Structure 1
Amino acid sequence: MTTLPDASVAVILPAAGSGQRFGDQSNKLFAPLAGRPLWTHAAETLLRRDEVSCLWLAVSPGDREQLEEQAAMLSRPDKIHFVNGGAERSDSVAAALDAVAQAAEASIQWVAVHDAARPLLRAEDVSSVLACAAHTRAAILATPVTGTLKRGARDQSACQTLDRRGIWVAQTPQVFSLDLLRQAYASHRGRPATDDAELVERTGHPVALVAGAADNLKITYPEDLAVAEALLQSRTHLS
């Protein structure tokens, strides 16, 4: 299996969002999960990788001091850097990407973008998506849709069943060669995009899908924390 060389990956965690659906005035990334801030779980998983040279958090200026204090408690705080994010997720990634490009050593050839609110990232899934990106230059974790899909009318008075064959739900990390992702963002021009893979697709470069664990969920609502807590406990019991 093709692998990436050590210390060749810069990780970007967009962490400047307000998390309004979470229903809390503070950043949801500060919410406790298994006794630790939510965002630190995935960050720790990624910091332990030999391939990861640095981790950039794109943050709101008002959250920066608290995040810096929390980062100091992780295993490799020397790898963690901060940059001010923007109003949209793409703005935050772009700011971090610029910082990576300006500070990057010659060894950094890859960028992995991960949702800071996905705490249950599995090490084996990171290995799989990095290995795929090593020979495709663009790969993302995803899971196939298993439920029945419906498209509802605007007033929800009727629905239409959709064919779910070949439909996947995108996850993160999304891993790209540094030059390819910079090219995608240079061509972005503010057009809406739901993830970085969509921007890369617009350049004409294919993005490979790597099947990831279904429990790599994104914390969006308060009840998601209870689910994540239960999943973490089950992992502990199985290990």
Structure 2
Amino acid sequence: MKYYAVIVAGGSGNRMQTETPKQFLLLNNLPVLMHTIKAFAQSDSQPKILVVLHTDQHNYWRRLCNEFNFNIPHEIIAGGSERFNSVQNAIKTINEDCFVAIHDAVRPLVSKQLIDYSYKQATELGNVVVAIQSSDSVRLLRNGETSAIKRNEVYLVQTPQVFDLSVLRSAYEQDFELAFTDDASVVEALGEKINIIEGERNNIKITYPIDLELAEMLINKNTL
């Protein structure tokens, strides 16, 4: 079975309170995106890696690769106006039967074990979405009124999300909708059942400055 990894790196630095996009910020002296690519490159699955970047960032990324002597093979894909369009652009370049993992560039701490397990389970089940069960109480706000939700029924979705290319390609032929918040929601709109597997608490998304500090602490802890 052949595997691909689409790493979506189109984020800005707005919530990080910095002009530098999150995927290029330094984490343990290496840009966040490089940590993410390394995770997939070091997995036993050995996927072909496609990195989706806004076209304005392509030259900057190449300069970073030279500066940090980063030579892990990967292909750069032009990003679109929405994340939906970025993933769409990436899967259009794949011309062989395979399973495709789609992963946020700013989840650099994903383990090789979770990556390999995601591919394995997807080949057996058809698709998988990595998620963790909520440890907090959860309430739903609707029309100005709130109601409690059973937290053991609530899962916080992460990436990677892995799908058979044929299903993914059909899903991304749909028109974009605001309800498409991740790849699972796009595939689900086709009527496909989505399978959840247990994610990792360390698989955090770098969104706010505190996340970068936490990621640094987790990396240093694991290297002691």
Q: Distance in 2 between matches of 1:53 and 1:160?
A: 43
| Structural mapping, 1:10-159, within 5 Å | 10-71=4-65, 73-74=69-70, 76-77=72-73, 80-100=74-94, 104=95, 106=96, 108-152=97-141, 159=146
* Partner amino acid, structure 2, of 1:139: V
Q: Distance in 2 between matches of 1:186 and 1:200?
A: 10
Q: Distance in 2 between matches of 1:134 and 1:145?
A: 27
1:171 aligns with 2:158: yes
1:215 aligns with 2:218: no
Q: Distance in 1 between matches of 2:63 and 2:159?
A: 25
Q: Distance in 1 between matches of 2:142 and 2:26?
A: 38
Change (3 A) 1:222 1:97: same
> Displacement, 1:91?
1.1
Q: Distance in 2 between matches of 1:151 and 1:63?
A: 39
1:20-60 alpha-carbon deviations (Å, 9 max, x no partner): 21221121111100110011112101012343342111111
> Displacement, 1:169?
0.7
Q: TM-score w.r.t. structure 1 length? A: 0.86
Instruction: Give every structure 1 segment of 4 or more consecutive aligned residues whose post-TM-superposition deviation is greater than 4 Å.
Output: 152-155
Verify the 8 A CA contact 2:44 2:112 in the aligned structure 1.
no
Verify the 8 A CA contact 2:50 2:77 in the aligned structure 1.
yes
Q: Distance in 2 between matches of 1:54 and 1:71?
A: 18
* Partner amino acid, structure 1, of 2:28: A
Residue correspondences, number:
221
Q: Distance in 2 between matches of 1:231 and 1:53?
A: 25
| Structural mapping, 1:226-237, within 5 Å | 226-237=213-224
Q: Distance in 1 between matches of 2:221 and 2:125?
A: 34
* Partner amino acid, structure 2, of 1:191: E
Verify the 8 A CA contact 1:12 1:112 in the aligned structure 2.
yes
Q: Secondary structure at the match of 1:186?
A: coil
> Displacement, 1:213?
1.0
Kindly, what percent of the aligned residue pairs are identical?
28
Q: Distance in 1 between matches of 2:39 and 2:112?
A: 7
- Structure 2: stretches of 5+ with no match in the other structure: none
Measured on the aligned residues, the alpha-carbon RMSD in Å equals: 1.9
Q: Distance in 1 between matches of 2:120 and 2:202?
A: 21
Change (3 A) 1:49 1:69: farther
2:181 paired residue number:
194
